[in-house]
């Protein structure tokens, strides 16, 4: 019996691995396009102009990911559940659209109120750059909504096509400057504004596909039979607010380093540290595909409650962590061998790269990816609140470290990222190693604790 259970667990793990590998290949192409965009921009623009592009992109990415990814995750989980049991998805779409529209309007209002300080101080008087910022944020509001819709309906081919269209459109503007069709920072910046709008071209194709009907082999609980509360604006908004806190913490750790350097050393220095942190950022793009398949996989195994499910759960987490460790080790060895030379080949010889700094960031990348994987496991175990507390603590320490600046500005960001990532991985491992008893996951139907537990599993996808 144990042999059968172990074989079943291995089968589950291999199935998850195939799914993650397929999504990683699709989304990896989008990550490569983003990497090439910055490489071309770095070769084409001077140091200061490239730094301004980095600052603009950092602000857009941090704001868009923080504000809009919660809706993507809310949609991806809830639509999948409702289509599986044959329930209507329109109430979910209306609620999510209301939240997303409110967030977009609020973001635009804040930007308009702060237009002068943003244009004069953050973007150094760039009027067009300010409007690129506004347009890009509105565009990403629609793009993240579309991502959640496509993921929830399991249209991963169109999901990947959306990302590839975004990356291709952004890169096209940088290439236009590189070959002489256009000129200057404004042309490159326009690519950041156009990219999310270009990706929405796949939406009409998605709307033509009828929802997938659930398999009849396994009876499913229905969401409208009194066991599931109605999906309302207050419940959807509460979930979005909770995930927003976690997303903000994530972006503080991953994306704010360039902004700290920009505040003290100028735009050119921000471009330099942004390039260094690409050693960590590029693998994070690939990990989004792993995360998209890991959380639903672990959640399904957790809900089984049998020995095979528990064994497959541990095997899947361990396999993911071992893969991350091997990848991080190879990256670190590569950085030790040819790191500075590879960076200058990719981004040009405008900067001289420090081998030690690249190694620190590569090690931090390994810890961060491990923490992200363990976060999926903790969420699958119904531990969303303590997991969010771990993120907030690590992000706060990262900010305090950078404000104190005990080292030079570049080394401060590098060490701060690696240290906060290591702490995050350690805290989330302790959380994962002490799961709540499975019986604690069962609550009274329709109770607030049941709602929280069901929505927690949607956190951190993508």
pLDDT tens per residue across all 462 residues of the chain: 444 344 455 555 555 555 555 555 656 677 778 778 888 888 888 888 888 888 888 888 878 877 887 787 777 766 765 665 566 777 778 888 888 888 899 999 999 999 888 887 778 767 888 899 999 999 999 998 988 888 777 677 787 788 888 889 999 999 998 888 888 888 999 999 999 999 899 888 878 765 444 444 344 444 444 344 444 454 555 555 666 777 788 878 887 888 888 888 877 788 888 888 877 776 776 676 666 667 666 766 776 667 777 888 888 888 889 988 988 899 899 889 888 888 888 777 777 788 888 999 999 999 999 998 898 788 777 777 788 889 999 999 999 999 998 898 899 999 999 999 999 999 999 998 887 655 444 444 444 444 444 444 444 333
User: CA 136, 142, 146, 148 torsion: positive or negative?
Assistant: positive
Q: Encode burial over 122-151: b for 16+ CB neighbours within 10 A, e otherwise.
A: bbeebeebbbbbbbbbbbbbbbbbbbbbbb
Residue 345 covered by a domain: yes
C-alpha span between 156 and 22 (Å, rounded): 10
Question: Which residues have C-beta within 8 Å of that of residue 444, sequence separation ≥ 6?
Answer: 450
**What DSSP designation does 353 have?**
-
CA angle 82, 85, 87 (to 5 degrees): 50
Q: Tell me the pTM.
A: 0.66
Residue 218 covered by a domain: no
Residue 113 covered by a domain: yes
**CB-side neighbour CA atoms (13 Å) of 129:** 27
Residue 117 covered by a domain: yes
Q: What is the pLDDT of residue 293?
A: 62
Residue 398 covered by a domain: yes
Q: What is the pLDDT of residue 136?
A: 93
Do residues 259 and 55 touch, judged by C-beta distance below 8 A?
A: yes
C-alpha span between 348 and 404 (Å, rounded): 31
Domain count, the chain: 1
Residue 224 covered by a domain: no
C-alpha span between 201 and 165 (Å, rounded): 8
**What DSSP designation does 407 have?**
S
Range of the domain at 355: 2-210+231-456
Residue 216 covered by a domain: no
C-alpha span between 462 and 70 (Å, rounded): 10
**What DSSP designation does 445 have?**
T
Residue 217 covered by a domain: no
């Amino acid at each position: 019996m144990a042999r059968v259970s172990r074989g079943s667990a291995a089968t589950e793990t291999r199935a998850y691995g195939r799914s993650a590998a397929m999504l990683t290949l699709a989304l990896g192409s989008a990550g490569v396009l983003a990497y090439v965009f910055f490489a071309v921009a770095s070769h084409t623009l001077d140091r200061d102009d490239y730094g301004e592009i980095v600052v603009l992109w950092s602000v857009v990415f941090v704001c868009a990911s923080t504000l809009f990814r919660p809706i993507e995750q809310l949609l991806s989980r809830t639509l999948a559940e409702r289509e599986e049991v044959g329930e209507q998805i329109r109430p979910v779409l209306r609620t999510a659209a209301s939240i997303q529209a409110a967030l977009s309007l609020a973001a635009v209002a804040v930007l308009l109120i702060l237009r002068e300080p943003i244009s004069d101080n953050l973007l150094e008087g760039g009027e067009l750059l300010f409007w690129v910022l506004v347009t890009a944020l509105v565009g990403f509001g629609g793009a993240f909504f579309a991502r959640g819709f496509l993921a929830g309906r399991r249209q991963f081919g169109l999901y990947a096509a959306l990302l590839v269209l975004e990356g291709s459109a952004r890169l096209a503007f940088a290439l236009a400057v590189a070959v002489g069709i256009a000129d200057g920072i404004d042309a490159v910046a326009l690519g950041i504004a156009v990219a999310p709008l270009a990706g929405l071209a796949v939406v009409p194709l998605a709307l033509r596909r009828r929802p997938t009907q659930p398999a009849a082999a396994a009876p499913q609980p229905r969401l409208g039979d009194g066991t599931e509360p109605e999906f309302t604006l207050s419940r959807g908004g509460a979930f979005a607010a909770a995930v927003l806190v976690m997303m903000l913490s994530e972006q503080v750790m991953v994306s704010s380093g360039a902004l700290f350097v920009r505040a003290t050393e100028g735009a050119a220095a921000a471009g330099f540290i942004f390039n260094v942190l690409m050693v960590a950022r590029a693998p994070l793009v690939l990990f989004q595909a792993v995360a998209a398949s890991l959380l639903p996989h672990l959640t399904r195994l957790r809900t089984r409650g049998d020995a095979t499910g528990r064994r497959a759960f541990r095997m899947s987490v361990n396999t993911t962590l071992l893969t991350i460790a091997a990848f991080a080790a190879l990256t670190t060895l590569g950085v030790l061998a040819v790191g500075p030379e590879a960076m200058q080949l990719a981004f040009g010889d405008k900067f001289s790269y420090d081998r030690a700094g690249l190694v620190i960031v590569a090690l931090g990348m390994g810890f961060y990816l491990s923490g992200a994987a363990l976060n999926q496991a903790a969420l699958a175990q119904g531990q969303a609140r303590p997991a969010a507390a771990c993120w907030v603590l690590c992000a706060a320490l990262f900010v305090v470290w950078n404000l104190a600046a005990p080292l030079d500005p570049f080394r401060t960001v590098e060490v701060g990222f690696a240290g906060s990532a290591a702490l995050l991985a350690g805290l989330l491992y302790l959380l994962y190693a002490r799961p709540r008893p499975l019986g604690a996951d069962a609550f009274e139907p329709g109770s607030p604790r049941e709602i929280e537990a069901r929505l927690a599993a949607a956190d951190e996808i993508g």
